[in-house]
Chains A and B, each alone.
Chain A
C-alpha cells in the first residue's frame, strides 16, 4: 500500500525566510506526486505536480526517488503563503490520491 508522510504538522517561518515543507512517500512503483494547498476558508486546490516541473507562486518541488521524497520549497516566504499544505501520491494506473496528514504553514510578519 502507498503511504505519504508529512512529518511536520505545524511550520512557522518569518516573512522573507526560506521555507521547506517535507514530504516522504512509500511506494514501490513509479508515483505521480502532487502538492495541494488549502487557504483559509477556501477549497483544496492543486499547487503543483512533479511531472510538470514548474514553479507556482514561487514554490518548487523535486521528486527524489532515491530518498522517496517530494519536498516543497520556496526561497522567500510571503505572508499570503500561510495555508494548509497537503502532499499527495497517485500510484501507477490508479485513480485515487493518497494524502499526507498535511502541514499548516504560518508566515510571520
Chain B
C-alpha cells in the first residue's frame, strides 16, 4: 500500500511561536491532501483540503490565517500553526489521495502531537 509520513511526530512549543508540520506521500504523487485535527477520544475533524499548486479549501470555522497550508509539490503539504496558543494543542493528522489502481483511496499519516505551553 501507499505510505504517508508526517514530521515531526510530536512537538512542544511556547505560546506565540509558529510550528510547521510536514506531510509527505512517499511512494505516490498526491494532487490532494487533507489536514485533520483530532481531540482526545473524538473523531477526526477536517480542517482543510490542500490541492497542489492552488489555495487550500478550509472548512467552516477554521481560521485560514492561523492554519497556513502550502502544497508546493505533488508529494509535500505543510501545515503551519501560526502564533500557537494552548488551545491549539491537539493531534494533527494528514492524509493523501491516491488515484492509482483505478480506485481512489485516502492514506493517512501517523499524526503529529502538538503541545503548546
A residues bordering B, Cβ < 8 Å?
A: 36, 42-46, 49, 51-52, 86, 95-102
Contacts and interface: CB of A to CB of B under 8 A. Distances in A.
A97 B73 CA distance: 22
Contact of B44 (A45, A46, A86): A86
A95 B43 contact: no
Contact of B43 (A45, A52, A99): A99
Nearest to A44: B108
Nearest to B59: A96
Is chain B's interface secondary structure helix, strand, loop, or mixed overall? strand
Nearest to A90: B104
Nearest to B48: A96
A34 to B, nearest CB: 8
A98 B106 CA distance: 12
Contacts of A46: 105-107
Contacts of A42: 110
Nearest to A42: B110
B85 to A, nearest CB: 26
Given A95-B32, A96-B34, A99-B44, A43 B106 contact: no
Contacts of B32: 95
A103 to B, nearest CB: 10
A51 to B, nearest CB: 8
A43 B43 contact: no
Contacts of A49: 103
B43 A97 contact: no
A97 B93 CA distance: 14
A26 B106 CA distance: 21
Contact of A43 (B34, B42, B46, B108): B108
A11 B6 CA distance: 31
Which of A45, A46, A96, A99 has most chain B Cβ within 10 Å? A96
B33 to A, nearest CB: 10
Given A95-B49, A96-B34, A86 B43 contact: yes
Contacts of A86: 43-44
6 contacts: A45-B107, A51-B103, A97-B34, A98-B46, A99-B44, A99-B46
